[in-house]
Amino acid sequence: MFLGTPNRKPFRTGRAITAAGYVKYQNLENVIRGKSRIQSIDLLRGIVMILMPLDHVRDFFARSAFLFDPTDLTQTSPILFFTRWITHFCAPVFVFLAGTSAYLSGIRKGRNELSSFLLTRGAWLVFAEIVIVTFSASFNPTWPFIKLQVIWATGLSMIALGFISRLKRNWILAIGIVLVAGHNLLDGFHVQGNGAGAFLWAVLHEPKYFQYGQTTVMVLYPLLPWIGIMTLGYWFGRFFAYDFDPDRRKLILNSTGISAILLFIILRAGNFYGDHAFWSSQKNLLFGFMSFINVTKYPPSLLYALITLGPALVFIAYAEPKLDNKLGPVKVFGRVPMFYYIIHFYLIHFLAVIAAAISGYSWGAMILTKRVNETPELKGYGYNLLTVYIIWIALLYFLYPFCKWFDGYKRDHLKTKPWLSYF
């Protein structure tokens, strides 16, 4: 009977253990005691965490961010387009790997403890998004706007996974596929107005702004596809379990990733299904390619999921062997994602306050009542893209020692301070 997490099978005693069996036993003990981490997961998560601030730095520092959407092919440049597009990998990979990590955590926690953990951690993430992350975006203690983005979506997806993880494995896969592949069938449905029905529909599928008194609630990450992505990540977690053959894992991940990319190409080529924003011929081959991969993130379309998660699965398949201690700094970012996420937002906004003052604007203009690139007092503010990249790289160098310290602190004190698992 499958309950969403593999049943532990204790080693038999009173019999000889081969060298291979002993290694397997040690791996099992390490997983159960929390001493073993999947390095390829940490590496991939670290890469997307490194890429993520690039878009946030662009929001707060790029002159173009105040003028037009970087994916608007009528106004953008290739370098600006790809600066934005490459960060499309961050949210789906982060949410997918959160599901994978939940499965691996369930190996040692057990079904009931895992479910409880997902519910409480999910609630914490929703609180963190509304209170901690939103304040970092505004620096305004009146909370003039609340942004419901990736942390909110991750939290509510974890709450949903707390229930989904109790189902049999086939049901878990079916739910993940239906939510990711089927939600675009709802693209033609709209709920007008500012009432409860419209808000619920925005939470589930259609991004929208709502005005409640003096507060604007920005529902930017509708839940249905994100729950599906996390559920699929949980289902794939089985392939990373201690007792799963590495060669078979590589074959499954590689073939699934390549299949996802091929399915993207087929569906996108004929504008058949999976994204309401069709691609079209452009002024040259490069812009035509940009149109082809310019998929919808809000909410994440099926094609968006295919073109981001497909390459991610291929990457994990080939990154796993012989990682050892290579790329250690990248993996550090991947091991402390929540800690890193929160402090990087505060640091970016703090630096933007300084940049505004240096540029001749009132520093108070960065105490926001709306999104930074919608603020009239900052009209004309901003820097070129090269400056954005310099700030992004400097930010990573500055944050690394803090993340490395917290990573060590977390590993040393996790057993005695369970709250650390929420970061």
Q: In what order do the strands lie in the sheet with 215-219?
A: 145-148, 215-219, 208-212
> Is there a domain that residue 27 lies in?
no
Measure the CA–CA gap between 268 and 414, rounded to whole angstroms.
46
Tens-digit pLDDT profile for residues 139-149: 999 999 999 99
- Burial of residue 53, with CB atoms counted within 10 A of its CB: 0-12 exposed, 13-18 middle, 19 or more buried: buried
Number of domains in the chain: 1
What confidence score (pLDDT) does residue 16 get?
43
Distances (CA, A) of 77 to 46, 69, 340: 28, 11, 30
Q: Where are the beta strands (DSSP E) in 55-152?
A: 145-148
- Burial of residue 415, with CB atoms counted within 10 A of its CB: 0-12 exposed, 13-18 middle, 19 or more buried: exposed
Give CA angle at 139 (134, 140), nearest 5°: 90
Tell me the Ramachandran region of residue 328: left when phi exceeds 0, alpha when psi lies from -120 to 50, beta otherwise: alpha
Task: State which residues of the chain have pLDDT below 50.
Answer: 1-36
Among 328, 392, 422, smallest CA distance to 50 is for 392
* pLDDT, the chain, mean: 90
From the CB of residue 409, how many other CB atoms can be counted at a distance below 10 Å?
14
Tens-digit pLDDT profile for residues 365-399: 999 999 998 899 998 999 999 999 999 999 999 99
> Is there a domain that residue 307 lies in?
yes
Position 349, amino acid: H
* Assigned token pair, 342: 């929160």
From the CB of residue 48, how many other CB atoms can be counted at a distance below 10 Å?
22
> Is there a domain that residue 291 lies in?
yes
> Is there a domain that residue 407 lies in?
yes
Measure the CA–CA gap between 207 and 191, rounded to whole angstroms.
11
* Assigned token pair, 92: 């789906």
> Is there a domain that residue 1 lies in?
no
Is residue 210 classed as helix, strand or coil in its secondary structure? Answer: strand
> Is there a domain that residue 19 lies in?
no
Tens-digit pLDDT profile for residues 145-177: 999 999 999 999 999 999 999 999 999 999 999
Q: How many CA atoms lie within 13 A of 143 on its CB side?
A: 15
- Its domain, for residue 199, covers 36-422
Q: Where are the beta strands (DSSP E) in 55-189?
A: 145-148
> Is there a domain that residue 21 lies in?
no
Measure the CA–CA gap between 382 and 62, rounded to whole angstroms.
5
Measure the CA–CA gap between 350 and 358, rounded to whole angstroms.
13
Measure the CA–CA gap between 184 and 241, rounded to whole angstroms.
32
> Is there a domain that residue 23 lies in?
no
Cis geometry, peptide bond prior to residue 329 (ω within 30 degrees of 0): no
Helical ranges in 1-38 per DSSP H: 19-33
Query: How far is C-alpha 159 from the chain's CA centre?
Result: 16
